[in-house]
Amino acid sequence: TDMGSVKQSIGKLAIQTLKNTEDIEWIKENMVTKNDHNKVMTALDEVLHIVRRSDEERVVMNARLDRLDAQKADKTEVERLR
């Protein structure tokens, strides 16, 4: 019975080892590599740069429009006073 128990334990270990090997292979195939991660981060940095630049342009454009509105209001006020 002792030998049967040892054989059974070895069988269980062999099965678990095969399962672990399959799991490791699956992980290696599906996990993100450092290179993949760097590519994603670089792309996100580029998108963030574009969004920030667009936001800055929007702020500048709004300031210009505010000045134009103020100039138009001043001109309208001057014409009204004439």
Domains of the chain: which residue ranges?
1-31, 32-82
pTM as predicted: 0.55
pLDDT value of residue 80: 79
Residue by residue, DSSP assigns 4-52 as HHHHHHHHHHHHHHHHHHHHHHHHHHHSPPHHHHHHHHHHHHHHHHHHH
Span 7-30, average pLDDT: 97
Phi, psi of 30 (to 5 degrees): -105, -15
Structure tokens at 33: 């590599």
Angle in degrees, CA 1, 14, 29, rounded to 5: 165
Q: What is the pLDDT of residue 78?
A: 76
User: pLDDT band at 73, cuts 50/70/90?
Assistant: confident
56: pLDDT strictly greater than 90: yes
